[in-house]
Amino acid sequence: MTTMWLEVIFRYIHAMSSQPHRVAVLALDRVIPLDFAIPVQVFASSPYRVRVCAPRRAVRTTAGFGITANAGLPALAEADTIVVPGFAPHAAPVAPAVLDALRSAHAAGSRLVSICTGAFALAQAGLLDGRPATTHWQHAAELARDYPAVRVRPDVLYVDDGDVLTSAGVSSGIDLCLHIVRTDSGVAAARRIAQAIVAAPHREGNQAQYVQRPVGNEHDGPFAVLCGWIAGHLDADISLAELARRSAMSPRTFSRRFRDATGSTPMQWVLAARVNEARRLLEGDELSIDEIALRTGFGTALNLRVHFRQRLDTTPTAYRRTFRPQRRAAG
């Protein structure tokens, strides 16, 4: 075989091995614009080639403007990775043709990714059955209720289950897409894209969704006064017996009625209130972690760290570093 033919074969092999990774972003009707834009932007550079796919050429968004798809559902069969952004209403039935196309593509080896409520489309297709998955924290309980075969993880940024990956709400889609780039092409490639879009280069998937969740209703209801008292005395030694006494009930009756009213046990409510107050204080610079532990009833920094790790899967120091306002440079 001549040298010329060897060069031709080498160039062919090299070209085949460097084919771009084909990403299909599936825009369903009333797609959420930010969820849609994230994968389009992150995968806009080599080694990816992005196509916008949809059941129809014109797609409505939840913001009122439209998107024009450049491919239909058949393009899903050609994709290496399919991303399903969030859509509304997320509980609406997805067209059978879309579900069939997702199932077929996955069976043929495509990697499936959802952002935010896009997980509901994968769940409708049965592609999350038996798998861990997440979605926006506001809809996680609904996903678990409507699709009991899914192992919903409501408090994480994203879940990588190999060939099926899901993310929580909105900006966590950036974390998942950068995680995919890092997995496919390495840390340096993910860092370059993160710098270009001015995003954090790496957040672990099991990091908690930092959301302002209510720990109960302290403004009205049968326990409004008690909840207000708890919020003002988090540094005190609060016991179930003390709370029941203040409510003029036996501990058993008080526990039952409190749970009926708030959806939480009394001591779980107290713990959540303490963690939330610790979060608020950590977002400032005024107090040390030891002082915050005392003010919120945890007693010691170690005890605060233990409960922070259990509830938010991070440490007080890491939380403060992430969420306190940036100081302005002197000048």
| Conformation bin of residue 64: beta by default, left when phi > 0, alpha when psi is -120 to 50 | left
Between 279 and 246, where is the model more confident?
Answer: 246
Q: Which of 26-30, 66-70, 106-110, 319-323 has the lowest mean pLDDT?
A: 319-323
Q: Rounded CA gap, 158 and 166, in Å? A: 6
Q: Rounded CA gap, 29 and 61, in Å? A: 7
CB 110 within 8 A of CB 138: no
Q: Rounded CA gap, 32 and 198, in Å? A: 21
Q: Rounded CA gap, 162 and 150, in Å? A: 15
Segment 262-272, tens digit of pLDDT: 767 899 889 98
Segment 162-172, tens digit of pLDDT: 999 999 987 88
- In the chain, residues under CATH classification 3.40.50.880 are 19-196
**Helix (H), strand (E) at residue 89:** none
- The answer to whether residue 10 scores a pLDDT higher than 80 is no
Query: Does the domain at residues 19-196 carry the CATH identifier 3.30.572.10?
Result: no
pLDDT above 70 covers a percentage of the chain that reads: 85
**Helix (H), strand (E) at residue 169:** none
CB 227 within 8 A of CB 216: yes
- In the chain, residues under CATH classification 1.10.10.60 are 224-323
CA torsion through residues 89, 95, 96, 100, sign: negative
Q: Rounded CA gap, 104 and 191, in Å? A: 33
**Helix (H), strand (E) at residue 1:** none
Token pair belonging to 137: 């924290």
Question: What is the phi/psi pair of residue 242, to 5°?
Answer: -65, -40
| Residue type (1 letter), 232 | G
Q: What is the DSSP letter of 283?
A: T
For the chain, give the mean pLDDT. Answer: 85
Q: Which of 210, 26, 56 is nearest to 118 (CA)?
A: 26
pLDDT score recorded for residue 39: 95
Q: Rounded CA gap, 12 and 111, in Å? A: 26
Helices (H) and strands (E) in the chain, counts: 14, 10
Segment 201-218, tens digit of pLDDT: 555 555 555 554 444 444
E-assigned strands of 214-316? Answer: none
Q: Which fold has domain 224-323?
A: Arc Repressor Mutant, subunit A (1.10.10)
pLDDT above 90 covers a percentage of the chain that reads: 58
